[in-house]
């Protein structure tokens, strides 16, 4: 099983599959995906998340991040004058013998056309460090191809766009804008640009309950199109539950809860549907959030995506 997993990992780094970590809780952590969310709110937002994928599968992916979003020049004289935001994200991802660490700083401009309609554009810029630990690899016979240590660093950049009205949003992200090769791993090994589109709409069922369908689509060159379909229910901006589906991969469930208004916690569970379930069926994510924002008392239904 271990050998089969490393073969699949080598295929991943050869550019034939998703090269970036994916998160079930993407809707709760938009800034971790999209630099256009830097400083989009009028307060500091801190998020952290840990993901353990395919629990029980030796060498399975483990990912996580810490992000901080900070508004700049939050006051504007009129709607069309821009607000600005900044922030940073540290992300780590480990798959078997491979590990990747990224630190990126973000800048975004936010342009309101009226009270509710807003276009945001942002950039991530930073460094990605990738390494391969040969001691984690076991082969039936000695193989010089997988017996050497390898590590390097490269510039990293992403572009993001975001548009939201009072009840819906649309997002676009282009990751890995700076392509790099890793000849120590293989002659065809390279990091390639990935694209992501997401969207959501909020329905207010009554004064306390809202319903939100969401979709995210990911595209990686030489890899299949991946998409998530989620449905979330929020009660009084205090507790939320949801279910989802990732094509050919997993059924998803999650629950979120606010703690003392400015803290929140989210837990999600993926039940694997692909052939990997023969070795591991479960994936877990847990995240924490702290914000200096305080809920508006005159809003019975609110959505942090649109504030």
Q: Is the pLDDT of residue 9 over 70?
A: no
Give the pLDDT band (50/70/90) at residue 287: very high
* Element holding 5 (H helix, E strand): helix 2-11
| Number of continuous H segments (helices) and E segments (strands) in the chain | 2, 17
**Average pLDDT estimate for 110-129:** 92
* Element holding 4 (H helix, E strand): helix 2-11
Higher pLDDT, 100 or 138: 100
For the ranges 68-77, 223-232, 237-246, the lowest mean pLDDT is seen at 68-77
The percent of residues in the chain predicted with pLDDT above 90, rounded, is: 52
Higher pLDDT, 4 or 60: 60
pLDDT of 164 reads 94
pLDDT of 132 reads 80
**Average pLDDT estimate for 223-251:** 92
Domains of the chain: residue spans and CATH: 2-291 (2.40.160.40)
pLDDT tens for residues 121-169?
Answer: 999 999 999 888 766 666 655 655 655 667 788 899 999 999 999 999 9
Three-state SS string across 235-268, please?
A: ECCCEEEEEEEECCCEEEEEEEEEECCCEEEEEE
Highest mean pLDDT: which range of 8-17, 74-83, 90-99, 208-217: 208-217
pLDDT of 280 reads 78
Q: Is the pLDDT of residue 296 over 60?
A: no
pLDDT tens for residues 238-254?
Answer: 899 999 999 978 999 99
Distance CA 65, CA 141 (A): 37
For the ranges 3-7, 37-41, 192-196, 200-204, the lowest mean pLDDT is seen at 3-7
By C-alpha distance, which of 161, 78, 71 is closest to 119? 161
Distance CA 147, CA 109 (A): 47
Higher pLDDT, 38 or 41: 38
Q: Is the pLDDT of residue 2 over 60?
A: no
Look at residue 284 and give its three-state secondary structure: strand
Give the pLDDT band (50/70/90) at residue 74: low
Q: Is the pLDDT of residue 216 over 60?
A: yes
């Amino acid at each position: 099983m271990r050998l089969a997993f490393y073969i699949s990992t080598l295929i991943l780094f050869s550019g034939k599959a998703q090269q970036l970590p994916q998160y079930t809780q993407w809707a709760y952590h938009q800034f971790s995906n999209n630099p256009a969310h830097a400083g989009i709110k009028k307060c500091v937002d801190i998020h952290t998340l840990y993901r353990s994928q395919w629990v029980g599968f030796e060498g399975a992916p483990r990912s996580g991040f810490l992000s901080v979003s900070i508004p700049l020049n939050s006051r504007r004289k009129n709607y069309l004058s821009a607000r600005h935001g900044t922030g940073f994200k540290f992300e780590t991802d480990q798959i078997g013998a491979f590990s990747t660490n990224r630190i990126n700083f973000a800048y975004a401009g936010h342009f309101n056309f009226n009270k509710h309609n807003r276009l945001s554009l942002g950039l991530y810029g930073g460094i990605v460090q990738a390494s391969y630990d040969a001691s984690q690899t076991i082969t039936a016979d000695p193989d010089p191809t997988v017996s050497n240590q390898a590590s390097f660093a490269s510039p990293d950049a992403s572009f993001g766009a975001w548009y939201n009205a009072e009840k819906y949003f649309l997002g676009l992200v282009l990751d890995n804008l700076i392509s790099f090769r890793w000849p120590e791993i293989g002659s065809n090994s390279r990091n390639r640009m990935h694209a992501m589109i997401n969207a959501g709409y909020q329905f207010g069922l009554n004064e306390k309950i809202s319903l939100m369908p969401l979709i995210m689509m990911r595209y990686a060159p030489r890899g299949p199109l991946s998409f998530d379909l989620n449905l979330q229910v929020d009660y009084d901006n205090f507790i939320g539950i949801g279910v989802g589906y990732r094509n050919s991969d997993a059924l998803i469930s999650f629950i979120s809860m606010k703690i003392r208004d400015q803290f929140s916690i989210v837990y999600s569970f993926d039940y694997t549907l692909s052939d990997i379930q023969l070795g591991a069926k479960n994936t877990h994510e847990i995240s924490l959030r702290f914000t200096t924002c305080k809920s508006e008392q005159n809003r019975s239904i609110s959505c942090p995506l649109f504030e």
